[in-house]
Amino acid sequence: MLNDIYETACASTALSVAEESAAITMFRLVLAQARHLIRQRKQIEELAHAMFADHDDYQRLCTIPGIGPIHALTILAEAGDLRRFRHHRQFLKFCGLDLATCKSGAVRGRTRLSKYGNARLREALWRTAQVAARQRDNSFRDKLGRYIERDRYDADPRRKAMTALTAKMARAVHTVVKGGAEYRPFFERPVPGGRTSPCQSREDTRVTL
């Protein structure tokens, strides 16, 4: 692969670099490290599948879009038994995904995420939401599209959308574990009254038809 890249660079408008140069040496080192990390990740995933084949919570988490073996293990390790949270709002607060408003006398500040909860768990949910949004045909990607449909290049709506997707991921995680059922996808659609109603999943629609 390195030889192909080098030959392409020599024959294109890119500046050619000698194979014995420091840049090529560093590139080989970075590539080797990346391949090593990929092998390690694959080993961890295989070990997780082998050790948690009979763990119900682990299997349910892996049915949610964006959650793989490593993130499922991270969520279980950081959150503990999610059944102790009676409502998903308690779990959101534990993750630091609840909203807080700074007040000082008559001055009312902006409402934003509190971020007082478990930072590692919040990061894992954020990353899984990003993965789910890049996958095809799921409610997370659908929700992201509705947030940024006016301007896909505006960073502020995209940031707010990812925050909403992270909270949605947290609710899904809490629901599948506490409810004891696999994730059932559904798609949200706006209704004339301005609210957002859950629609039947596309999989269920195909079965019904």
pLDDT band at 127 (very low <50, low <70, confident <90, very high): very high
Is the CA virtual torsion 128, 157, 146, 170 positive or negative?
A: positive
pLDDT at 207: 30
Structurally, the chain folds into a number of domains equal to: 1
Output helix, strand, coil percentages for the chain, rounded to the nearest 5. Answer: 60, 10, 30
Task: Judge whether residue 23 has pLDDT over 80.
Answer: no
Q: Using N-to-C axis directions, what is the helix angle for 69-79 and 22-51, rounded to 10°? A: 70
Q: Is residue 39 domain-resident?
A: no
Q: Is residue 131 domain-resident?
A: yes
pLDDT band at 199 (very low <50, low <70, confident <90, very high): very low
Residues 176-182: what's their mean pLDDT?
Answer: 89
Task: Judge whether residue 189 has pLDDT over 70.
Answer: no
Residue type, 128: T
Write down the mean pLDDT value for the chain.
80
pLDDT band at 91 (very low <50, low <70, confident <90, very high): very high
What pTM value is reported for the model? Answer: 0.71
Q: Is residue 81 domain-resident?
A: yes
Which helix H or strand E contains 102, and what residues bound it?
A: strand 99-104
Q: Is residue 5 domain-resident?
A: no
Q: Is residue 98 domain-resident?
A: yes
Nearest to 64 by CA among 206, 173, 163, 203: 173
pLDDT at 155: 81
pLDDT at 187: 58
128's tokens: 């899984």
Q: Is residue 23 domain-resident?
A: no
Q: Is residue 199 domain-resident?
A: yes
Residue 116, domain extent? 58-208
| Residue 200 bridge partners (DSSP) | none
Q: How far apart are CA 115 and CA 142, in angstroms?
A: 26
Q: Is residue 120 domain-resident?
A: yes
